[in-house]
Structure 1
Amino acid sequence: MISNLDQELLSSGIEGLDSILRGGFPPNNAYLVKGRPGTGKTSLAMQFLLEGARRGESALYVSFSESRRELEVVAESHGWDIDSIRTVELASSISERATAGSSIFHASDVDLPQSLNTITECVERYEPTRVAVDSLTELYNMAESERHFRRALFQLKIRLEKAGVTTIFVGEQGPAVKTDAESIVHGIIELERETPHYGPQRRRLQVSKLRGREIETGFHDYKILRGGLEVYPRIRPSGQGRRIGAGERAKSGIEALDRLLGGGFDRGSTSLIVGPSGAGKSSVVIQYAVAAAKRGEKTVIYTFDEDPATITRRAENMEVPLSEHLDAGLVRVQSVDAAEMSPGQFAHLVREAVDEGGAQFIAIDSINGYMHAMPSTESLVPHLHDLLTFLGNRGVVMMLVMTLGGLFRGTEKEAMHLSYLADTVLLLRYFEQRGAVRRAITAAKHGTGNHEKLIRELTLGEGGVHIGEPIEEFSGVLEQTPVFEGSSNALNRRTRHGYAVHDDD
């Protein structure tokens, strides 16, 4: 006898759902797909049947509420050809038996036993291996009582399983899919949707029950696109933690910046680059992307706040050769609309960029925009933890840009919440000197290296990012309340990329 674990699984026709099911549906069982209207239940059932037809299997769709024409309209909107799927309509008038393609029955005039017999006869006649019954609500409405419905549903399930059929029952939230149906079926897929205060609907699903098999538990985001449901399995990091420091360090191409970080970013590490708007955070990311491209390594920058053209112009203004690496495919800048893309879909994009695109550097600019994509701010840290662990296990360098709330006196509350996830924390600040606004940079944390503890001046100009001499004459720079504590001569000191000379002193 073949055990449940040794059976060849049936693909759902949805790659992401198969991944959650760890291969697909165990055959010859009944499954319940439930959810409110508009969650994609019928589309999921149709994709299941179409996948069977694609593999040369016989598929049967039993509808209590929709006509063949209505199904064809839905199929046309998805670009599907459903000619290979037989349909049985229990919707218009009564007949003794179903005939191919367009048999018509009147569900309101047929009692429950007659409807079940009709389904059984069609299964015996057409010998399908996959069946979808839409929906259980209509069957429930024909039953005299909940006990009567449960007994009838159990009998139908047994008949279908004896015929070697794998069945999907479609049901809306309500009495028909509560305790009675849920306890009878082999597995349950729950579809949910929510409408935020702004933006499009968000959808997620979970496999809340599957007897005898391990699955990817919890909620997973999905979208309904042309072509059907696209499911984004939640990233599940392998191993106990990230592999930090495997291989040589990733350098910026700027000796002073690498020295500030104790030699550069570790492979598989995460760096949090924090500072007010305009302090040079994105420019630091560009610098690392160009340096990686010169080594033949690929970088993807996901920008939530700026148009890719703006980033390209910024690099051109600094005379940094970003464009040539964009043209060569070594750097890609992708705009992300936080209102349109769910966190699960974004994680799916990142995983594809690494596993299929070979990216070795990933940057999120900025994490503030990423936060707006989260259903709640409490979800940000666990979501990021899984994503960063996944990337770390693959040796990918991750750069997270975070903008402080104020231009000069911003709050660091969000940065404190995320800093424990980062192996390296770069702080960028403004400070004032003799009526001029300047920039400062320091490494507040570097997990595996002996980094500098100095605060240095940062300038942006020809050739990109420049790191100047230590800022020794000021205190309170990191708190953005700088106080000059040096001599007047120190204000006039010039370094190659440091302070300006004031000839009037």
Structure 2
Amino acid sequence: MEIVSTGIEGLDEVLGGGVLSPSTTFIAGTPGTGRTTLGMQSLCAAAKKGEKVLYVAISPKPESLIRQILSRFSFFEESIIIRTFNVSSVERDPLTMLVELGNIVSSLKPDRILIDPVTPIGFGFPEAERRRFIYSLNAALNEWDAVVYFTGTLESGAVKSNVISDIVDNIIYLSQNFDTHITRRYIELMKVSGMSSIQGEHTFEIGTDGISVYPKDIAQADHSIPASKERISTGISKLDGMLGGGLFKGSSNLIAGSTGTGKTVIGLQFVIEGAKKGETGLIINFEETPEELYLHASNFGWDLKGMEEKGKVKIIHTLPSSLDPNKHMMQLKKTIIQTGAQRIFLDAVNGFDYALMDPIVRKEHIAALTRMFRNLGITSLLTCLNPEGKECSNTCDIPIVTVADSVMILQQRLTSSGLRKSISIIKMRSSDHVKSPAIYEITSDGVVIEDITLEDKI
């Protein structure tokens, strides 16, 4: 048995490489979830590679109308063979349909077959008779020697008790969730035979180009990559000194602080320092648009727009309300590889709050992101909005301190002489660091740290 591609971006990865040939796959879900689109897209992708494919449409529509509807998708391939069966006929007399279908398959000998949908077949039969028909269908499948897809309209709970689930090798379940701002679509593998698949809920989108699947983040630590002892500058010399010589190359680092403490300024200095040294930087932003970041940087004399135009910096801006974390992670990985980025500034991890409401799921996703950055040899700097007055021991609402190699806390308070800002290094893996906080200011040159500590100043 060989593994063949489904022809759908991301789905092969979820399935563990594709589907076995021959095999049977049941694509189930509620109305509007994209079952037919998924099956047809896979059929058309196979047809474009020279496979003979058969689409069995159980529908009142004629073949000409079905072709017209399917041709709206850019993936549609005219060479697919379409055969239609009337719904009311297959409900009443499924055995005749099975005999006719068997003759069609014997004549055409297709490599892939889509039966869409299979759930109406024998719908009016008693359950015992319907089960006998499905087992007869299974016997026919064994003789067809093809990759066969079924679609069916079923709720998640009903899939497990349906007799079709007994005879198929794989079950793909599609669902969707509607909220005020966006419709989120999910794909889950309820059953997979003979493949090392990725479990859990993955997300997907449907467009005129068909379906794109975004696998759930599963980045694992690559232990073959040794920890680097090389240091890189943050762009702030005295902060480098506080850190024991700068950040470790390939490390993930966190800056937490309340609004106005200069988290974004430090992040921009970090990326711009790299750009000056020929290290491409990637800025991942949720709140400020690229134009707003250009303006913000220009206040300090930094030509961020010019750097991006020259390919030294790349900005990825995503609104939290439209964020698909799986798609976002895939986009980041592709961009890192395409640009050769060596530094990443993510501002801020709180942007995941809207898309990932469960704090444990948020932590897992951010941990997977940092693992991906490390595996790719990227030095990352992440910020976290820390509410005013929060103690250092509770750096942010998302508990990501444990996944960071270094943690810097920015604080500010009103004193008799004005607003006083301080920076503390509360964690630095594999290195000594300055334990006392230091005063800093945000000037026209960016963040400037003073020599004396906060205790001495006060």
TM-score, length of structure 2 as denominator length: 0.92
| 5+ residue gaps, structure 1 | 1-6, 93-105, 475-483, 487-505
The question of 1:47 aligning with 2:41 is answered yes
Give secondary structure in 2 for the equivalent of 1:120: helix
Q: Deviations over 1:155-177 (max 9, x none)?
A: 22332331222100101115577
Partner of 2:116: 134
| 5+ residue gaps, structure 2 | none
Number of equivalent positions = 454
Distance 1:171 1:413 in 2: 48
- The change in CA–CA distance for 1:239 and 1:307 in structure 2 (over 3 A counts) is closer
Partner of 2:405: 423
381, 401, 421: which is aligned to 2:363?
381
7, 23, 26: which is aligned to 1:29?
23
Structure number with higher strand proportion: 2
Q: Deviations over 1:70-123 (max 9, x none)?
A: 54454344323342111111137xxxxxxxxxxxxx536750101111211221
TM-score, length of structure 1 as denominator length: 0.84
Partner of 2:168: 185
Cα offset, 1:413, TM superposition = 6.3
Q: Is the contact between residue 271 and residue 344 of structure 2 (CA under 8 Å) also seen in structure 1?
A: no
Give secondary structure in 1 for the equivalent of 2:360: helix
- The change in CA–CA distance for 1:176 and 1:390 in structure 2 (over 3 A counts) is closer
Partner of 1:479: none
Q: Is the contact between residue 275 and residue 404 of structure 1 (CA under 8 Å) also seen in structure 2?
A: yes
Give the fraction of aligned pairs with identical amino acids, expressed as a percent.
26
Give secondary structure in 1 for the equivalent of 2:295: helix
Cα offset, 1:263, TM superposition = 1.3
Partner of 2:52: 58
Partner of 2:263: 281
Distance 2:321 2:64 in 1: 35
Cα offset, 1:435, TM superposition = 4.6
Give secondary structure in 1 for the equivalent of 2:10: helix
Q: Larger radius of gyration, structure 1 or 2?
A: 1
Give secondary structure in 2 for the equivalent of 1:139: coil
Cα offset, 1:446, TM superposition = 0.9
Cα offset, 1:211, TM superposition = 1.7
The question of 1:468 aligning with 2:436 is answered no
Q: Is the contact between residue 243 and residue 268 of structure 1 (CA under 8 Å) also seen in structure 2?
A: no
Superposed counterparts of 1:67-466, under 5 Å: 67=61, 68=63, 71-72=66-67, 74-91=69-86, 107=89, 110-142=92-124, 144-173=125-154, 178-196=161-179, 198-239=180-221, 245-246=227-228, 248-406=230-388, 412=394, 414-415=396-397, 417-466=399-448
Partner of 1:12: 6
The one-letter amino acid of 1:163's match is: W
Distance 1:415 1:28 in 2: 50
Cα offset, 1:240, TM superposition = 6.2
Cα offset, 1:282, TM superposition = 0.5
After superposition, the CA RMSD in angstroms is 2.4
Distance 2:221 2:422 in 1: 38
Distance 1:251 1:171 in 2: 57
Distance 1:375 1:255 in 2: 38
Distance 1:435 1:304 in 2: 35
Distance 1:242 1:283 in 2: 34
Which deviates the most, 114-123 or 76-85? 76-85
The one-letter amino acid of 1:123's match is: V
The question of 1:38 aligning with 2:32 is answered yes
Q: Is the contact between residue 25 and residue 149 of structure 2 (CA under 8 Å) also seen in structure 1?
A: yes
- The change in CA–CA distance for 1:289 and 1:69 in structure 2 (over 3 A counts) is farther
Q: Deviations over 1:342-382 (max 9, x none)?
A: 11111111221223332222222111112212153331011
